[in-house]
Amino acid sequence: MAKKAYPLRINAQVLAALQRWADDDLRSVNQQIEYLLRDALLKAGRIKLVQRTVTDVEEIEDDNKKAD
């Protein structure tokens, strides 16, 4: 899976809380943010996992987008 850099502006208190959470889960802050975003996307039905052991995801086609 290709990774793409994206600059993120984040509140210092939120970043500190993410750092503590990432430390607890033995992840970097970047990995923690990606994990949280992926989990939110899965729960919202925006993506589906291709493989549980790999972090690759596949977009779910939206019927509304097909009409475009």
Residue 68: the pLDDT is 54
pLDDT along the chain (68 residues), means of 10: 88 97 96 93 85 64 63
Residue 66: the pLDDT is 57
Residue 12: the pLDDT is 97
Residue 64: the pLDDT is 64
Q: Which residue's entry shows tokens 């984040």? A: 10
Residue 47: the pLDDT is 87
Torsion angle of the four alpha carbons 43, 45, 46, 52, in this order, in degrees rounded to the nearest 10: 70
Residue 63: the pLDDT is 67
